[in-house]
Amino acid sequence: MKLKFDYLILSGILMFFAVEHPAYAAQGAMPLSLKQCIALALQNNIDVLLARAHAQEAQGQKMSENADLLPQIDAVASQQRTWWENIGALGFSGFGNIGPFNTFNASIMVSQRILDLSALAHAQAGRIKWKSSQLEIELASQQVILATSLAYIQVLGYEEELDSSYEDVRLAQHFLSLSEHQLDAGLASAVDVARDRTHLAQQKARQVELRLNVVRSQLELKRLIKLPLAQPIDLTDMLNNWKYDYLDVDKAIAQARQDRMEILVAHADSDYSLAELNASKREYLPKIDVTGSWGETGQTPDKDDSHAANALVSISLPLWDSGKIAGDIKENAGLNDEEKIKSDDTDWKVEEDVRLALETLVSTRAQVDAEKEVGDLAQRELNLAQDRFTAGLGDNIQVINAQVSLADARDKYAQTLAQYDQAQLNYFAALGEARQFNLSVNAQGRELI
């Protein structure tokens, strides 16, 4: 019962605001173009922010992997106190324990790995991972642009329907006045007047529903761009039905395979997994390190010390690691196979997107033209029905039916116009050029029924 009461209150409020012509953009509304909405979304969207954080993580990983190939320099200082030491155990016969004594050492140690093919492959993988993270930022950005643009167009479509509803209400009021005039002249019945009043009430109720669609779609858009939900907005761009020259299927697919971020990211991930596989295979190869140190040694820092210097070349080769390297190879081989499968599937998906986008463009373009023609015919039908009713040649059933047909035609035209702009957006997105779509640039004016 309470829900029903709340719904009646909300409907009453919306009906109150829907009485006057499109003042649904409240005072103090923020004007927003599509370009501005996209800028806000890119600045605040969580997917873009996470992609940037992941890129920073990949950069750190790249630096860490490169460090294994660069010299390492350490400063070492130590002071040791030995109370007794059995040097006879070291092979010096005739000596027993000595002590106590001090030992001081301060030196600079430099180490360089001069041969490690596994570390080299890991460093290459780190660079590929960093490149992939940069591509992921652009991929997330394009996905945000697509979602924001679709939401923007949806709001425009609902606002277009709401605009048309004001004209439908005006027509219904006009024909109600005409019926009342015809009743006074004896050319219509009370049933005709009641029928027009019912139709007017239906149009007002429909207007409330359309306004709710506008409010709902605006809230969704504001959530995407992280704008305060209580902030009124006024979209400054508008739908358009401009015809463009599009690439043919083969050229569009070729361009998409070159520019789509999904493909570039998939290929980078596949290259990364291959580099990691090569790195794990090279763990079986020998590693060569050079280490050198120079410093001072003595009993304490404040006494005269003697210089000490040494150099060491070491070669290491794994003989038995209990299957760790083999396990890493097997794991990375599986990951590489997974990335190859994903990359191949992405190629198919991109081609599907392009073909579907082009087919949808053709279909929605035809629908826009057809709905425009339907609207023209519905307007003509209404004019003829009005002439007959004004001349007293029948009741107003034909007039009301014609009004309903015209209202439906206006709604469908607004819907197909929005669908056509969404189809254009999806075409650009399918080519990897979502940034190229801009209503304020593309719009050449809109045709209203």
Task: Map out the domains of the chain with their CATH numbers.
Answer: 33-71+118-287+323-442 (1.20.1600.10)
Instruction: Specify the pLDDT at position 304.
Output: 59
Instruction: Specify the pLDDT at position 8.
Output: 39
Q: What is the pTM of this model?
A: 0.74
8-16: long-range contacts at Cβ-Cβ below 8 A with a sequence spacing of 24 or more? 11/208, 14/208, 14/211, 14/212, 15/204, 15/207, 15/208
Q: What is the DSSP letter of 29?
A: P
Instruction: Specify the pLDDT at position 339.
Output: 87
Divide the 449 residues of the chain into consecutive groups of 10 and give the mean pLDDT of each group. Answer: 40 41 60 91 86 84 79 83 75 71 82 83 87 88 92 93 88 85 80 86 91 94 91 89 80 91 90 88 86 79 72 84 85 89 91 92 89 88 84 78 87 89 91 82 38
Q: How far apart are CA 255 and CA 430, in angstroms?
A: 10
Instruction: Specify the pLDDT at position 189.
Output: 80
Comparing C-alpha atoms, which of 248, 253, 208, 149 is closest to residue 13?
A: 208
Q: How far apart are CA 109 and CA 289, in angstroms?
A: 13
Q: Tell me the backbone φ, ψ of residue 21, rounded to 5 degrees.
A: -70, 150
Backbone angle region of 364, left / alpha / beta, with phi > 0 → left and psi within -120 to 50 → alpha: alpha
Residue entry with tokens 């219509």:
188
Instruction: Specify the pLDDT at position 23.
Output: 43
Query: What value does the CA radius of gyration of the chain take, rounded to a whole number of Å?
Result: 38
Instruction: Specify the pLDDT at position 355.
Output: 94
Instruction: Specify the pLDDT at position 442.
Output: 46
Backbone angle region of 76, left / alpha / beta, with phi > 0 → left and psi within -120 to 50 → alpha: beta
